[in-house]
Chain A
Amino acid sequence: EDQVTQSPEALRLQEGESSSLNCSYTVSGLRGLFWYRQDPGKGPEFLFTLYSAGEEKEKERLKATLTKKESFLHITAPKPEDSATYLCAVQARGAQKLVFGQGTRLTINP
Chain B
Amino acid sequence: DADVTQTPRNRITKTGKRIMLECSQTKGHDRMYWYRQDPGLGLRLIYYSFDVKDINKGEISDGYSVSRQAQAKFSLSLESAIPNQTALYFCATNGQATTGELFFGEGSRLTVL
Given A100-B42, A101-B42, A103-B42, the answer on whether A44 and B100 have CB atoms closer than 8 Å is no
Q: Which of A89, A91, A97 has the largest count of B CB atoms less than 10 A from its CB?
A: A97
> Hey, which chain A residues are within 8 Å of B90, CB to CB?
43-44
Tell whether, in the assembled complex, residue B99 and residue A91 are in contact, meaning their CB atoms are under 8 Å apart: yes
Given A96-B56, A102-B42, the answer on whether A89 and B100 have CB atoms closer than 8 Å is yes
Q: How far is the CB of B4 from chain A (nearest CB, A)?
A: 7
Q: Which of B42, B59, B103 has the largest count of A CB atoms less than 10 A from its CB?
A: B42
- In B41-58, which residues have CB < 8 Å from any A CB? 41-45, 48, 50, 56, 58
Tell whether, in the assembled complex, residue B107 and residue A43 are in contact, meaning their CB atoms are under 8 Å apart: yes
Q: Does A98 contact B (CB under 8 A)?
A: yes
Q: Does B20 contact A (CB under 8 A)?
A: no
Q: How many residues of chain A get a CB closer than 8 Å to chain B's CBs? A: 22
Q: Which residues of A contact B (CB under 8 A)?
A: 4, 31-32, 34, 36, 41-46, 49, 87, 89, 91, 96-98, 100-103
> Hey, which chain B residues are within 8 Å of A101, CB to CB?
42
Q: Quick one: CB contact mask for B72-109 with A, threshold 8 Å, 1 for yes?
A: 00000000000000000010100000111111111100
> Hey, which chain B residues are within 8 Å of A49, CB to CB?
98, 100-101
Q: How far is the CA of A102 from the CA of B41 in the complex (A)?
A: 5
